[in-house]
Amino acid sequence: MTPNAHAAAASPTSTVVTGIGELTTNDPGLGILHDAAVVLEADRVAWVGESAAAPSADAAVDVGGRAVLPGWVDSHTHLVFAGDRTAEFEARMAGEPYHAGGIATTVARTRAAGDDALEANLVAHLDEAARQGTTCLETKTGYGLTIADETRSARIAARHADEVTYLGAHLVPPGADTESYVDLVCGDMLDAVAPYAGWADVFCEDGAFDETQSERIVAAAAARGLGVRVHGNQLGEGPGVQLAVRGGAASVDHCTYLTDEDVEALASSATVATLLPACDLSTRQPLAPARRLWDAGATVALASNANPGSSYTTSMAFCVATAVLQMGLSVREAVWAATAGGARALHRDTGDGAVGVVRAGARADLHVLDAPSATHLAYRPGVPLTWAVWRCGERVR
């Protein structure tokens, strides 16, 4: 997403947002403020404090006592694709189990689509996410699985998404030899995609890539200068979490089935446990153990896993409500995980231009709820509560 991608018109140079009934800052020094104001200047937050002390600005918006949060940070999506998998979803709802091999259906349709169609579909989903308060979003390749198709997916994603992840190691394409394909993922494909991506990922799971193959892919990506992420422990206990921690991955995503050793490893590392509750529900898996991870001291993020097969939603609010109502997190914890937690999983939580936080110097991303507090995200599940959104200082809703 470019800064102006979702803006109907250019914003003033500076805007003061006043009348904030409850402001969740995620800043340890600021905490949660009441009767607050925020000044946005260009693409940064310039000032945060009490409404009565707010400095003047070129424009003013009074939000009338509504709650304001940092924009959602969706750190795990798969939005460069064509087609859908409605029939597969219906079959799962009728009792058929989820298998990783369903990805091949989307691969075939994505390969057959033109660049314009893939880009239009990506932009439509980014717009949909932005209208619901998502202001920073990662997306992956992984539905091409050839050098040409992975490269064009990354190139298209890089024009619009905040972060791009290379996921050539999503699945071994039908008819390919596994070891030869791993060679390709670690070699020529990686070299072709790397200029457009900041991250690499591997689906370390039965039906995808085993521990030895995954470790090789992670090492190759790190040697090429990419940050590392891992899909792990989605379909059963497995090596994904330990591989991620051992390899210094920024995050391990899914974490549905965890041993005590996995939880301990996450709690004693900088690797973020990114939980994908919409995916767990759509695939009829158990929900990831959010409370257990949080209490152990692991860093928890929530993300949508938006994709056409196992989690076709861009609603971070749905993920937050699920985390509160069914996974044992408090509203404050779930909101933190969907904002600051996602930012940490993307290594965008500190310094100038940080996301997932409202403080001076942070990126000017705000999500205004049509509600007096963030509690309404879980108190009124399913209700569209987004009232206004600023992204990089531009009002996009």
Tokens matching residue 313: 């939603």
Residue 4, annotated as binding a ligand: no
Residue 76, annotated as binding a ligand: yes
Residue 213, annotated as binding a ligand: no
The span from the CA of 305 to the CA of 254, in Å, is 9
Residue 121, annotated as binding a ligand: no
How many C-beta atoms surround the C-beta of residue 179 within 10 A? 11
Residue 304, annotated as binding a ligand: no
Residue 347, annotated as binding a ligand: no
Cβ-proximal residues to 180 (8 Å cutoff; 6+ apart), any chain: none
Residue 166, annotated as binding a ligand: no
Residue 85, annotated as binding a ligand: yes
Residue 341, annotated as binding a ligand: no
Residue 240, annotated as binding a ligand: no
Phi, psi of 173 (to 5 degrees): -60, 150
Residue 160, annotated as binding a ligand: no
Binding residues for 4-imidazolone-5-propanoate: 85, 143, 170, 234, 310
Binding residues for N-formimidoyl-L-glutamate: 143, 307, 309
Binding residues: 76, 78, 85, 143, 170, 231, 234, 305, 307, 309-310
Binding residues for Fe(3+): 76, 78, 231, 305
Binding residues for Zn(2+): 76, 78, 231, 305
